Amino acid sequence: MALFCTYEATFISIKQPKQEPRSKSAGANVPRQPCPDRSYVESLEERASALAFLESERSEQSEGSAGHPELCFKPCLYLAYGSGACPRRSSCSFCHLPHPKRAKLRRADRELLRQLGEADLLALVLPHLRAKSLGAKILLRVEKIPGADRVLGLMEAHLASLPASNALIAGVGKLAGRLARLSFGQLMHLSRGPGVPGVQAAFAALRSEEPVVQK
């Protein structure tokens, strides 16, 4: 005869922890959803911070900014095209200040100038340099700049010492209008004037004497 074991009159009770009564004014505990615009706001904050840093970089004058805007060197590519901060900072030999609508020569014009000999090139560019020094082109000043006289006097004396050139190169006459739009510093670079004895030191002194004008 088989025997069976059974549990009788056995109960399992489950007790839940007592909950505090919720205040009538308390709202339901709804989980917070992430704000869809938060990432956009954060990106704007990061961009504003980057722009502020870039502006501080621009405001820090570099060695190449001396004499801005007429006598400075070419704009620094790091800042001109917004690619970031200049790693050389104040020691950079290029200008850190804005150059809106900076005039440039076309590639064909530059190739044409390379074909000119020293005498022809100086004879072409010197009248434009002289006009810049006498007019209201440098830092909006009308009076003559003594420093420019020192620079141009050395270049004109050097031109007078060179043998006359009879070279005829087509297209040179058309450059006058485009050369007139260039700055004093750009014309100095094109003229190869810094290679004339004494001119580089005189031009450096001129750049250091002229106050920087930020536009």
Tokens of 117: 């000999």
Distance CA 139, CA 69 (A): 7
Q: Which residue has the tokens 């007139």?
A: 180
95 three-class SS: strand
**Run of H or E residues at 36:** none
Residue 202: count of CB within 10 angstroms of its CB: 21
- Please list, in sequence order, all residues whose beta carbon lies within 8 angstroms of the beta carbon of residue 63, skipping any fewer than 6 positions away: 90, 91, 92, 93
pLDDT digits (tens, 9 = 90+) for 85-112: 888 888 898 888 887 777 888 999 999 8
Residues 6+ apart with CB under 8 A from 185: 67, 70, 71, 72, 73, 207
Backbone angles phi, psi at 47, to 5 degrees: -65, -40
User: Which amino acid is present at 1?
Assistant: M
* Bridge partners (DSSP) listed for residue 95: 75
66-80 tens-digit pLDDT: 888 788 878 888 877
Give the global pTM: 0.61
171: pLDDT confidence band, cut at 50, 70 and 90?
Answer: confident
Q: For tokens 């004497």, what's the residue?
A: 209
